Amino acid sequence: MKLGIVGLPNVGKSTLFNSLTKAGAEAANYPFCTIDPNVGVVPVPDERIEKLGELYHTKKVTPAVIEFVDIAGLVKGASKGEGLGNQFLSHIREVDAVVHVVRYFEDGNVVHVDGSVDPARDIETINLELIFSDLEVLERRIAKVGKTARMDKEAGKELSLLNRIKDFLEAGKSARELEIEDEDEKKLLSGYNLITAKPVIYAANVGEEDLRDDGANNPHVAKLKARAGEEGAQVFLISAKIEEELSELPAEERDEFLSDLGLKRPGLDTLVEASYSTLGLMSFLTAGEDECRAWTIKKGTKAPEAAGKIHTDFERGFIKAEVVNYADLLREGSIAAAREKGILRIEGRDYEVQDGDVILFRFNV
């Protein structure tokens, strides 16, 4: 899973990236300090594989991972070359979802590129730049497809779709909000790699007080949640400053620090949950003495395709899957005990893998 982090300069993008990845991306109090995209890979917090590792006395525990791409702050006119320009938008065309960081905190020591903190204005600025960038992609495709549309039925159908999307974007709406029922059109839309077609997660970078009460007393946060609800987007509140402090603490002190703040978990956990929910993802597990590992798949994935996540030979030569729920395995203490109790199941090609399944695949090639 790859997430692209976008936002205006000085909204806390790179600070958040640093705290999530501990990659040491530059974060300074002036616009455009991030020139090249920063990329970091973060393990997905999952206590299930840790406990399986203890059960199996495994040599290695391997969590699922998320890749974060932090691009330079965008400003009004970025799609036309303002600031550092449109060059950075290409870096997020390949991500699975966009994390849009919006500044909600007031701090006179951290300059705002537009002179004041106004979340609604900032969101519109970024969204319009993403729309303008997508319009350029569409216009190039329209020019190419338009040459053959009169003589080619399929090209004509695509041109009709392109113009519908173009009209939608020109109305100031994101491509993800366009309702498309035709499966062929969905495939075409996916192939354009439009940024505004990607799912979005709004990260409201708030101060400590708003974080404590989940923004209950902040009208700006309420408006963001309402907007996200209309878009079908996820919202989570985070304090990049607090996440940065958390990332610098030893593991044994983090829980105490969170407790003192009245928080139950760090922002990374919340972001992972929002990301998995937005993208319809879940994890199945494999366990043994050599390795316990979490594998990320789409909800609804069938057993052979899940096996292919481990190795293509597993999918090609799939025979069956031996499946037990994580909680059941932990309770019984071993695969042998689970088998004896009759809770270890043998599943075939049509089985839809469930979150938390511990699976041993049988295959032959």
Helix (H) / strand (E) containing 190: helix 183-192
Q: Are 29 and 110 in contact (CB under 8 A)?
A: yes
Structure tokens at 33: 């300090």
Amino acid sitting at position 168: F
- Distance between CA atoms of 269 and 2, rounded to whole angstroms? 16
pLDDT of residue 81: 53
Rounded (10°) CA dihedral 334, 339, 340, 341:
90
153, with CB counted inside 10 A (0-12, 13-18, 19+), is exposed
Instruction: Give the whole-angstrom CA distance, residue 119 versus residue 30.
Output: 19
DSSP string of 85-122? Answer: GGGGGGGGTT-SEEEEEEE----TTS--TTSS--HHHH
State the amino acid at position 363 in one-letter form.
F
pLDDT at 105: 78
Cα(88)–Cα(8) distance, rounded to whole angstroms? 13
Instruction: Name the pTM for this structure.
Output: 0.83
Q: Are the C-beta atoms of residues 14 and 33 closer than 8 Å to each other?
A: yes
| pLDDT profile of the chain (365 residues), mean per 10 | 86 83 55 61 89 94 89 63 56 87 76 72 89 92 91 91 95 91 91 93 88 83 88 86 86 85 83 89 95 96 97 96 96 93 95 96 92
pLDDT, residue 315, reads 96
